[in-house]
Amino acid sequence: MRLRAVVLAVCGIALLGAVAPRSPAPIPPRVKGFENARQPWQFVFPRDHAAHPGFETEWWYYTGHLRTADGRRFGYELTFFREAIGATDPTPGPDQSRWRGTQLYPAHLALTDENGKRFVYAERFAREALGMGHASARTLDVAVNEWTLRGTSPFELHADGGDVGLDLQQVAEKPPAVHGHDGVSVKAACASCASHYYSMTRLRTSGLLRYGGRRMHVEGTSWMDHEFGSEELQPNQAGWDWFSIQLDDRREIMDYRLRQTDGSLTPESSGSLIDAGGAVRHLERDDVLIDVTGHWKSPHTNATYPSGWHVRIPSAHLDLVLVPVLADQELVAPGGGTTYWEGSVEIQDATTHEHRGVGYVELTGYTTALSL
């Protein structure tokens, strides 16, 4: 990821004589008492599937496409978040109040009924206190009340939101795709604006879906993002547009567009192209060309979101159109929480409009600026 280029007056330097180059500002090891994700990170698996409590924020983000034996199709999102209350608040000791805790754990579940044209979602929230929520730093074991994420071979997901519930098992068909350089995914030019970020881009998925009063066996393909860092965004950044694309030729694309409050794109926006064998190629912001093809205004929040995209990666000879399977896939958070659009999309060839794959798109900061 590139920092902002420094333009030097070459002619002036030649006249004045040699000038010693300025050393880059050192990257502090900690920020606000937390570990700084701008420091290089060597991922080791399965260890790094687990939690990283030294960082302020973390999430395990699953999206996917499911189908039943009779041909019904569903998109889903299941996300577990971890948010540290403060770096200086110690873990409660055995003789201290069980109401003490250093971590907060929100979780979101959403289902897109593609055939029924319906979108439903649920959420949970737990504090670390009283064991209501936890995330192990030794192995993948995350719980938000009764919702759980455990294991790595397979990943095991469980959530029950009343109208919808999932019990899924997922087997990785590719190794983890690490984004950025040296284990660092840069989000802006500041010394702490980064995360450690990888994806499991092709997870063979099976299990049970509870929806509409029925229990249905489902199979399909999923994607998992795991990201952790501290102080990733700046006040002049409003939010992001994130794209995950799973092509029928077994390539995948991840791309994020960080939006400034003035409407421009953050230069450090970037992505990855994963080939059929799992090799990852980093994509700079301008390697991926994205044009919005339409908009949708929410009847719930009055926010206007992009709705449809033309995505081109000339170096990979990719020219694609992303079409939402349903316009209204907005998760409206009650009580002042984060509202965002997270939706299943179909991938088509931009010229022939033939089916090329499936994907998910996340749009944040369209109601109010997002803060991390």
Mind listing the pLDDT tens digit for each residue in 275-284? 999 999 999 9
Distance spanning both ends of the chain, measured CA to CA: 20
Residues in Cβ contact with 252 at an 8 Å cutoff, skipping those fewer than 6 apart: 177, 199, 201, 202, 223, 244, 245, 246, 273, 274
| Residue-range definition of the domain harbouring residue 132 | 10-88+97-363
Read off the CATH number of the domain in which 183 is found.
Answer: 2.40.370.10
Cis peptide before 267 (omega within 30 of 0): no
**What band does 242 get if pLDDT is binned at 50, 70 and 90?**
very high
Residues in Cβ contact with 317 at an 8 Å cutoff, skipping those fewer than 6 apart: none
Q: Say whether 195 sits in a helix, a strand or coil.
A: strand
Q: Decide if 273 contacts 281 (C-beta within 8 A).
A: yes
Which pLDDT score is estimated for 89?
53
Which pLDDT score is estimated for 27?
84
**DSSP per position, 142-164:** EEETTEEEE-STTEEEEEE-SSE
Q: Is the pLDDT of residue 69 over 90?
A: yes
Q: In degrees rounded to 5, what are phi and psi of residue 21?
A: -65, 145
**What band does 101 get if pLDDT is binned at 50, 70 and 90?**
confident
Q: Is residue 185 part of a domain?
A: yes
Q: Decide if 232 contacts 240 (C-beta within 8 A).
A: no
Nearest to 328 by CA among 118, 174, 73: 118
Q: Is residue 155 part of a domain?
A: yes
Nearest to 370 by CA among 269, 249, 232: 232
Q: Give the integer Cα–Cα distance in Å for 239 and 29.
A: 26
Q: How far is CA 186 from CA 136, 181, 241, 244, 269, in A?
A: 26, 9, 15, 18, 8
DSSP 24: P
Domain count, the chain: 1
Q: Decide if 158 contacts 167 (C-beta within 8 A).
A: yes
- Dump pLDDT digits (tens) for 305-328: 999 999 999 999 999 999 999 999
Q: In degrees rounded to 5, what are phi and psi of residue 15?
A: -75, -35
Nearest to 36 by CA among 228, 268, 192: 192
Q: Is residue 253 part of a domain?
A: yes
- Dump pLDDT digits (tens) for 121-139: 999 999 987 778 999 999 9
Report the predicted TM-score, pTM, of the whole model to 2 decimal places: 0.88
Q: Is residue 3 part of a domain?
A: no
Q: Which amino acid is at 90?
A: P
Q: Is residue 38 part of a domain?
A: yes
Six-digit token string for 299? 């009847």
Q: Is residue 240 part of a domain?
A: yes
Q: Is residue 372 part of a domain?
A: no
Total residue length of the chain: 372
**What band does 231 get if pLDDT is binned at 50, 70 and 90?**
confident
* Vertex 184 angle, CA 42 and 78, to 5°: 95
Q: Is residue 370 part of a domain?
A: no
**What band does 21 get if pLDDT is binned at 50, 70 and 90?**
very low
